[in-house]
Chains A and B, each alone.
Chain A
Amino acid sequence: MTKTENSKMAGPHATGMTKRSFLQSVGMIGGTAAVMTAMQGWDIGFASEMDRPPQMSTDGNGKKVIILGAGLAGMVLAYEMSKKGYNCKIIEALHYAGGRCVSARKGSIIEEIDGQKQVCNFRDGNYINYGPWRIPAEHKSTIYYCRTLGVPLEVMVNKSGKAYYYYENKEGPFKGQPIRQEEADVDFKGYTTELLAKVADQGALDELITQEDKEKLLEHLKSSGLIDSKDLNYRANRARGHKSYPGAGMNFGELSDPFSMADTFSVRQASRNETADHPAVMFQAVGGMDQIAQGLKRALSDESIVYNSEVTDIIQNENEVKVTYKNTKSGAVSTENCDYVISTAPLGVMANINTNLSEEFQTALKATRSNPACKIGVEMNRRFWEQDDMIYGGVTNTDIEGQRVLSYPSGNLFGAAHGDTGVILGYYPIGGSSVPVSNLTISERIEFALSAGEKIHPGNYRNHFTGEAMSVAWHKMKYALAGWENWSRRGRTRSFPVMQKGDKRIFVSGNIASPALGGWMAGAIEGAWSTMEVIDKRVAEQA
């Protein structure tokens, strides 16, 4: 029975059946397969291999695995492989677990390689996700761990029509002037609807589509409500909003005036707020994204992770791997032997470890690129974007060099959870454009964020800044050296397959093992899952 067929059936609640009796009745008709399909519909049964960890066929039998890095990938590996009888130990260079899955809140410290150190002094409840910040529904792997480890998720508003587009580097009518996204978006849709309807109506599409399809198209375009059904002109209506709002009695308000067609076409719409992998509604961990990493950490035994330990050497022979690491506080050096090593250390960090990896494998690792990334959280003492601008979450897109986005917090909406304050993501440049920002001192970064924000929220942004901000340049964090890594086109074809199969007893995992998901938490998690499968196969062959 397919899902579609299933959904057509009268639901169990409609007939007053209990869940069990319904399952029994389905089983009586369709056999076990039908029951399993029905259970999937309720999310209580089985699932595809994509949305949960792979089943390992081998039993670890106490085989010892040393994992480098207590980020999401490292902890997923330890968690899943321990369940299968592998004896896993994570060696972490920092004093905490989470890797790049972190949030800054009161007391958090960010220290970059040039010695610039910040201590967070946000008010209680406020935080900034200076690592990952949004989860799309299709990242089932990330959601799987949140659900099974009891990490509560909430809506992250990724698109708010009330947020702005702000462009200052392009000549045009809106240069240097914030405009509401919903106004520009609806106008764009309105005018393209008008143009398409007119060319269809005038017969210009007759060679491209059938008469029947043309009629359907025109019907849909008209039913959008954006164009007049007779003259086919775009007309402003409630979709675009009001310049004075309707109210009681005979107050019907006044509709806003559309921009001209030419002006509308001068506005570039945002590309990452309404797509399948960046939908309008995304998710975030309640209280900070680091809660996902902390959920994994709680699922591991206390002795699973050795902190403050920098791996210096990984040397393998036919029978084992010898790992040497140094305690960064005491300087004490330890050596341990194990059956396998899985490094989830960022490759820039791994490059400084002495190994006897084959030359082919080492060359493969070099075919990756690092993505620099910067973020800043700017704390405000009043939620002016909500109270004055009606913006509740969402992202303002700008072309200010080095800023790219300004995002409003989706947590503590209305100040309901912990008062009328909040932390704005003040900038988030990625790739090469983040490098100039990272070259600024901490106070220069704050000034940059304030001057950029003030252009979008004049009179409010500087005025309500509490004086507290936390910024990061991921490529200047000693044990990250990049926001994330991925593969060049040449690297993917030439080198990824070499990296993926590992080098005898040494494997490299994490987001680098998921070229299609670089920079996402799902990339770290599913990269770890794919490495489990490779090791499982290796162990099975050796058995």
Chain B
Amino acid sequence: MKKIIHVIIALVGFSALFSAAYAQDYLEEGEQIYVDFCEACHQPGGEGFEDIYPALKDNEFVLGDKEEVIYLLLEGRAGMPTFIADLEVDQLTTIINYIRNSWGNDGGEVTQEEVDEAYEFIAEEDDGFGPGN
């Protein structure tokens, strides 16, 4: 039942959220988040840095399974840090959509609900102290 509700929410969300207005919104906000949190490594235009930090433009992983991309942003993977503590969950959705749909990328949209679900799962293990020393 829960799953069906999620699907319904996702479907309703899809038509409502991804109007042209939303797309415009995340492009603008997404660009600012990109400059602040991504560009230092992935460089302007998502071009990447040498063999070290991959280009996000035309990137197979970025354009692939969206759940993996959501988890990538939330918990890090293969050299990527987690941004779960640094960006609000709606900002995370925005930046995922920005990256998947900029510089000629055509990855389609992820919904807030999809990000929320992963966020809840990961937040369960938060011990209150956060990472690092």
Residues of A participating in the B interface, judged by any CB pair closer than 8 Å: 113-114, 134, 271-272, 277-278, 347-348, 351-352, 365-373, 430-433, 435-436, 438-439, 473, 475-476, 478, 481-483, 486, 488-491, 518-520
Check if B131 sits within 8 Å of A430, measured CB to CB. Answer: yes
Check if A488 sits within 8 Å of B76, measured CB to CB. Answer: yes
A and B contact pairs by CB, cutoff 8 A, 27 listed? A114-B49, A134-B133, A271-B128, A272-B129, A278-B133, A348-B52, A352-B52, A365-B78, A367-B78, A369-B76, A369-B82, A373-B132, A431-B131, A432-B81, A433-B86, A435-B37, A435-B86, A438-B40, A439-B35, A475-B41, A478-B52, A481-B79, A486-B131, A488-B77, A488-B82, A490-B71, A519-B133
Inter-chain CB contacts under 8 Å: number: 109
Minimal beta-carbon separation of A439 from chain B (angstroms): 4
User: Which residues on B sit within 8 Å (CB–CB) of A438?
Assistant: 40
Interface of B is mostly: loop
Q: Which of A347, A348, A367, A371 contacts B132 (CB 8 A)?
A: A371
Check if A348 sits within 8 Å of B85, measured CB to CB. Answer: no
User: Which residues on B sit within 8 Å (CB–CB) of A482?
Assistant: 79, 81
Check if B87 sits within 8 Å of A432, measured CB to CB. Answer: yes
Check if B86 sits within 8 Å of A432, measured CB to CB. Answer: yes
Task: Report the Cα distance A150→B71, complex, angstroms.
Answer: 45
Q: Tell me the nearest residue of chain B to A517, going by C-beta.
A: B133
Task: Report the Cα distance A369→B85, complex, angstroms.
Answer: 14
Give the most central of B49, B75, B128, B132: most A CB within 10 Å: B132
User: Which residues on B sit within 8 Å (CB–CB) of A351?
Assistant: 78-79
Q: Which of B48-89 contact A (CB under 8 A)?
A: 49-52, 71, 75-83, 85-87
User: Which residues on B sit within 8 Å (CB–CB) of A347?
Assistant: 78-79
User: Which residues on B sit within 8 Å (CB–CB) of A352?
Assistant: 51-52
User: Which residues on B sit within 8 Å (CB–CB) of A371?
Assistant: 81, 131-132
Residues of B participating in the A interface, judged by any CB pair closer than 8 Å: 35-41, 49-52, 71, 75-83, 85-87, 122, 125, 128-133
Task: Report the Cα distance A481→B51, complex, angstroms.
Answer: 12
Check if A439 sits within 8 Å of B80, measured CB to CB. Answer: no
9 A-B pairs with the lowest CB-CB distances in the bound complex, closest first: A369-B76, A432-B86, A488-B75, A366-B78, A439-B40, A430-B132, A348-B79, A432-B83, A436-B36
Q: Which of B36, B52, B76, B129 contacts A435 (CB 8 A)?
A: B36
Minimal beta-carbon separation of A111 from chain B (angstroms): 14
Check if A368 sits within 8 Å of B78, measured CB to CB. Answer: yes
Task: Report the Cα distance A520→B131, complex, angstroms.
Answer: 12
User: Which residues on B sit within 8 Å (CB–CB) of A478?
Assistant: 52
Q: A436-B37, A439-B40, A478-B52 are in contact. List 10 more A-B contacts (CB 8 A).
A: A272-B129, A366-B78, A368-B77, A373-B132, A431-B82, A435-B37, A438-B40, A486-B131, A488-B82, A519-B133
Once A272-B133, A352-B51 are accepted as A-B contacts, the answer to whether A489 and B40 lie under 8 Å apart by CB is: no
Check if A520 sits within 8 Å of B133, measured CB to CB. Answer: yes
